[in-house]
Amino acid sequence: MTVKLMQRQLTRRQILGMVALQGAAAAGLTRIGLQVASAAEPAAVDNAPAIVVGSGYGGAVAALRLGQAGIRTLVLEMGRLWNTPGPDGKVFCSTRTPDQRSMWFRTRTEAPLATFLWLDLVNQDISSYPGVLDRVHYDHMSVYVGRGVGGGSLVNGGMAVTPLRSYFAEQFPTVDTAEMYDTYFPRARSMLGVNTVDPAWFESTEWYRFTRISRKHADNAGLKTTFVPNVYDFGHMEREAAGTATKSALAGEVIYGNNQGKRSLDKTYLASALGTGNVTLHTMERVTSISRAADGTYLLTADRIDDTGTVVETKEYACTYLFLGGGSIGTTELLVRARESGTLPRLDASVGTGWGTNGNVMLGRANHVWDTVGANQSTMPVMGIDDWANTANPVFAEIAPLPMGLEHWVSLYLAITKNPERASFTYDPASGAVRLGWSAAQSAVSVGMAKKLFDRINKANATIYRYDLFGSSNKVFADDFTYHPLGGCVLGRSTDAYGRVKGYSRLYVTDGSLVPGSIGVNPFVTITALAERTMARVLAEDTAP
């Protein structure tokens, strides 16, 4: 995107914030704020009125709204700031040739789709580095998360889906749905820069042939498909296709970051937050513990790491208002440890429960030789098979790309099933580790539901599953990972109806931990809208002098 174009689309505050981000990156700084951008020495911020842990959706909304309210706020993010080009001139590496920038302290990449024709062709050796995508392993489930300024927005597929109103109401019985659908969902979508693919372009471009084929096969089975909005700039994508813009979504970029086109949080909420002049961001700092002083001040300990992962400094912070936006597993882990190790003993017993995978299962189907999916595929999904209304087997399946640069006849999907299974986190005092009690049997429930839907599609089209994509054991359904970790500090159970954590005043959760394990669609619009609702209430009621 040219500077001119950016200036047309961005607010003055966002531009100021982006200048701050660029200035910090150029100088290799891990402390980012407007003062830094103007080269002045930043004010001491180790004691801030408000601290936000994490800079994903929940953290970014909190930071912006606090900054706008004139409250000096510090954001602590364990990942790095992603806007310094590497030796190849690009900020992020591509999925086809991943390097150290791809994954969080790994020596080999761990992509979800690990094999092709049973061959270990996808993953590659890399050097250890604070890369942008992490895969957090628990016993029977691993969780993909984004690491860096912008959290999951840096690595996700950008699908910006508002949940079905009736299902939202089912999941959040205490939340006023009219207020959500009239105020907070529209606010979230507008701030996130949600847009939709031009249907005419979609129908004609080679880049979405894979989607049209999947739509045809769903149609043959009598299933409904629906367009899904995205935060990737479709104008940019069309220019990529026309050869007038540098390719990103059309160059296989997604899970290790997009160098162009994606409206990730560093370009939206976080740029605006920094632009208020009240928000400072520290990167490469992982909060390890939270406690509370006798006067009610929250005390945080954070490890600052370098590019090798070595802790170079242990820092102490104090604040009056503490907002947790570390994501479902980041926030839940901090709170479970705080309760069980006795630093926040009054946290509710429900903290650490109600966790789910949003029913995620990935699978591939093998198409007939005449049903080509195209060598050229956009990485941004724009359509889903919507069978959520089928009460016997509710599934919403995203039609996912598999951009290998060659014709492979694979239709790939990320199914979101209405799996009612939930798991809890436990604390191991000996190691200090927090574990997740999700079992293989709980994943099997999602598989059963996805299988019912895709058996229908295979039957109607005389096609079969692909057995070669998820390792050497002929695995059809990848049920051992999730992109959508949800829950652990559920709204209305571990918190009040607005995300205020039970047992402690001025302690808030604003991220995916609030969602009770399932939302039926890709979750970031819901997380953003709920965070907007929390911030509106908290700023009106809790922070008045």
**451 binding ligand FAE? (CB under 6 A):** no
**522 binding ligand FAE? (CB under 6 A):** yes
Binding mask 141-170 for ligand FAE (x = CB under 6 A): ---xxxx---xx--xxxxx-----------
**Catalytic residue, candidates 110, 333, 484, 532:** 484
**520 binding ligand FAE? (CB under 6 A):** no
Residue 450: helix, strand or coil by DSSP?
A: helix
Closest C-alpha to 402, from 317, 491, 468: 468
Write phi, then psi, for 413 (nearest 5 degrees). Answer: -140, 150
Question: Site for ligand FAE (CB under 6 A): which residue of 37, 63, 78, 399?
Answer: 78
Cβ proximity to ligand FAE: between 76 and 218 the closer is: 76
Q: What is the nearest approach in angstroms of ligand FAE to the Cβ of residue 22? A: 19
Q: What is the nearest approach in angstroms of ligand FAE to the Cβ of residue 536? A: 17
Which residues inside 235-294 make contact with ligand FAE, applying CB under 6 A?
255, 286-287
For residue 484, indicate whether it is catalytic.
yes
**481 binding ligand FAE? (CB under 6 A):** no
Q: What is the nearest approach in angstroms of ligand FAE to the Cβ of residue 171? A: 15
Q: How far is CA 206 from CA 73, 210, 372, 374, 411, in A?
A: 46, 8, 11, 7, 15
Residue type, 356: G
# residues contacting ligand FAE (CB under 6 A): 39
Residue 409 CA to residue 252 CA, distance in Å, equals 17
Which residues inside 178-197 make contact with ligand FAE, applying CB under 6 A?
none
Residue 509 CA to residue 490 CA, distance in Å, equals 9
DSSP strands (E only) in 220-267: 225-227
For residue 398, indicate whether it is catalytic.
yes
Residue 451 C-alpha from the chain's centroid: 26
Give buried/exposed letters for 101-124 (b at 16+ CB in 10 A, else e): bbbbbbeebbbbbbbbeeeeebbe
Q: Are 22 and 263 in contact (CB under 8 A)?
A: no
Which residues inside 318-377 make contact with ligand FAE, applying CB under 6 A?
325-328, 330, 334
Complete DSSP assignment for 102-156: SBBT-SB---SS--BTTB--S--B----B-SEEEEE-SS-EEEEE-STTGGGGTS
**56 binding ligand FAE? (CB under 6 A):** yes
Cβ proximity to ligand FAE: between 151 and 463 the closer is: 151
Cβ proximity to ligand FAE: between 209 and 286 the closer is: 286
**Catalytic residue, candidates 398, 408, 421, 532:** 398
Residue 363 CA to residue 149 CA, distance in Å, equals 30
Residues near ligand FAE (CB under 6 A): 53-59, 76-79, 144-147, 151-152, 155-159, 255, 286-287, 325-328, 330, 334, 483-484, 511-512, 522-524, 527
Active site residues: 398, 484
